[in-house]
């Protein structure tokens, strides 16, 4: 009878240790996934901001070039008149 009690106590101890280990592993995995998602979202936002900045710079340069070309054409037309 004592052997059965010892086996049950040891089995319960091992089971509780296994449960604790599984819970810790699950928590660590969930935290790691959350950190990876935060990093991915941050990188994606940084790339999107960079793309927006590049597009804005290209548009500004294009507008400046068009304005200069129009100014040169106006000057040439005025001089020809």
Tens-place pLDDT, residues 46-71: 999 999 999 999 999 999 999 999 99
Dihedral angle of Cα 37, 41, 43, 46, to the nearest 10 degrees: -170
In our burial notation (b when 16+ CB lie closer than 10 A, e otherwise), range 17-48 reads eeeeeeeeeeeeeeeeeeeeeeeeeeeeeeee
- Band the pLDDT of 3: cuts 50, 70, 90: confident
- Band the pLDDT of 12: cuts 50, 70, 90: confident
% of the chain residues with pLDDT over 90:
68
Residue with tokens 């294009």: 62
pLDDT for position 46: 98
pLDDT for position 39: 98
Token pair in block for residue 14: 């091992």
């Amino acid at each position: 009878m004592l052997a059965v009690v010892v086996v049950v106590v040891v089995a319960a101890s091992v089971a509780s240790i296994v449960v604790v280990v599984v819970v810790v592993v699950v928590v660590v995995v969930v935290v790691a996934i959350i950190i990876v998602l935060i990093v991915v979202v941050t990188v994606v936002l940084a790339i999107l901001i960079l793309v927006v900045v590049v597009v804005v710079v290209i548009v500004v340069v294009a507008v400046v070039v068009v304005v200069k070309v129009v100014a040169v054409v106006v000057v040439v037309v005025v001089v020809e008149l």
